Structure 1
Amino acid sequence: MKSFFALLVCFISMPGFSQDISSQELLKNAIAYHDPNGNWPSFNDTFTFVMTMPTAPKRTSVISINLPAEYFKVTATKDTVTTTYILDKGKCQMQYNGKVLDSLKAKDKNMTCDRATLYKNYYSYLYGLPMKLKDAGTNLNDTVEKKTFKGKTYLVLKVTYDEAVGSDVWYFYFNPKTYAMEIYQFFKTDEHGKEKPDSGEYILLSEETLLNGIKITKVRAWYYNKADKYLGTDTLVEG
């Protein structure tokens, strides 16, 4: 009996089974899993993903992110149309089917430099997770929750943002044994900052590949929180 209790104590004290892990410890462990060598600040790579949706043609996007050089480029092809947005140290360029556009012609194509910045922030955020959770303006909830989602138990980190950064509330679901990030989810908020339960989306993450020594998700399946409605899947096809 004594040996049984000793084994039990050992088991519950193993990484991934702690009842008292802090949000900072969870994030540290998750980053250690995804970016063990601290490569994210020097990230410089190009990758391709394909977005498939039930009611729309597939879209193929080629993304280049060079953080040290402050360079971002996304080229998206859908049907016969290819659009390109480039931000090079803040300088914006837009192309439509390979032709460089001035601001007036870009506006006719519904393309703007504001959208270029939006894309840069969006893709840098998603592909930089969980490392991006250390950015200024990011607020980690003090308490790490244990939640069951689709029959599997996760350590869940709740994240809010300073008003200047964003108003959505995010939840990040980590494998309790490996600390791999396997789901993220967000909700919109009302004028009082309260979550709207039927808003937002959740994203199921599966498979991994290495980019710049970082474990990056290969497959992301998107769903509305409301009624679990499927939106689409983007799949990394080239690293």
Structure 2
Amino acid sequence: MKTLFTTSLFLLFGIMSFGQQIKGSELLDKAIKYHDPQHKWETFNGTFHVTMETPNSSNRNSKISINLPEEHFYLKAKKDTVVTEYDVKKEACTNTLNGNTDLSNQVLKAHNLSCERAYLYKNYYTYLYGLPMKLKDEGTIINDVVEQKSFKGKAYLVIQVTYDVSVGKDVWHFYFNPKTYAMEVYQFYKTDDKGSIKKDSGEYILLTDEEIVNGIKMPKTRAWFYNKDDAYLGTDILN
């Protein structure tokens, strides 16, 4: 027991010492090297499928295509008998419901179909599945201070990320494995009018397992929870 305790202290202080030496931007570079060792994200052109599981609801199965060089995004989602499609090519947008593109305003509203929502999905999926590489985007502010935190019983190196006001107001924390630099958790909080974090807001996302898509190590499973009470929201499964 004494040997185990001593070893644990040694590992803990080793992580703390390293965290005090490395800067946030340097930790991010190491994480990107782990997830995208061949720098594939900048020219990403690929398709993947995601199953979304939510409590007391049927699954939503999505096919997602992202072509960064061509500025093309496509999402086809099926839930029960309803199939919706969003196709964004640069500034052009097409919405489809059960194979039909000739939709009345009433039908568009009833199924929440719009170009605004298409752009929202484009940004959402490109951001989440482009992490941590997307943290290099313009307007992203990486805090130079690397923290050592324990989350759900595991030790992590953590960076705080904020954004220019033109990009967003949320405050994000990204948790990296101190040995491999794999991204394993991220968490965000809302802020008030003064820019202070609302402690009872936001969510945290636990990442488990990996899938390699076009040479990039992407998290296979993302489980979403509220920060305020750990309530489970749902899980996205890459398949």
Q: Give TM-score, length-normalised by structure 2.
A: 0.90
Question: 2:151 and 2:179 mapped to 1: Cα distance?
Answer: 16
1:88-129 Cα shifts (integer Å, max 9, x gaps): 122100000111145735345321101100000000000000
Q: Which residue of 1 aligns with 2:201?
A: 199
The answer on whether the counterparts of 1:137 and 1:162 sit within 8 Å (CA) in structure 2 is yes
The answer on whether the counterparts of 1:76 and 1:82 sit within 8 Å (CA) in structure 2 is yes
Letter of the 2:142 counterpart? L
Letter of the 1:41 counterpart? E
CA drift of 1:86 comes to: 0.5
Q: Which residue of 1 aligns with 2:218?
A: 216
The answer on whether the counterparts of 1:64 and 1:74 sit within 8 Å (CA) in structure 2 is yes
Q: Which residue of 2 aligns with 1:125?
A: 127
Pick from 106, 109, 112: which aligns with 1:110? 112
The SS at the match of 2:59 is strand
Question: 2:186 and 2:235 mapped to 1: Cα distance?
Answer: 14
In structure 2, stretches of 5+ residues that fail to align are 1-12
Question: 2:233 and 2:14 mapped to 1: Cα distance?
Answer: 40
The SS at the match of 1:57 is coil
RMSD after superposition: 1.9
Q: 1:228 to 1:13 in 2, by over 3 A?
A: closer
Identity score, percent: 59
In structure 1, stretches of 5+ residues that fail to align are 1-11
Q: Pairwise mapping of residues 49-198 of structure 1 onto structure 2 (< 5 A)?
A: 49-102=50-103, 104=105, 105-198=107-200
The SS at the match of 1:99 is coil
Question: 2:25 and 2:216 mapped to 1: Cα distance?
Answer: 20
Question: 2:119 and 2:104 mapped to 1: Cα distance?
Answer: 15
Letter of the 2:227 counterpart? N
The answer to whether residue 24 in structure 2 is matched with residue 23 in structure 1 is yes
Deviates more, 1:103-112 or 1:78-87: 103-112
Q: Give TM-score, length-normalised by structure 1.
A: 0.90
Question: 1:161 and 1:171 mapped to 2: Cα distance?
Answer: 12
Q: Where in structure 1 do 4 or more consecutive aligned residues deviate above 6 Å?
A: none
The SS at the match of 1:31 is helix
Q: 1:103 to 1:92 in 2, by over 3 A?
A: farther
1:196-228 Cα shifts (integer Å, max 9, x gaps): 111000000000011110001100000000111
Letter of the 2:56 counterpart? T
Q: Pairwise mapping of residues 223-238 of structure 1 onto structure 2 (< 5 A)?
A: 223-237=225-239
**Count of equivalent residues:** 227
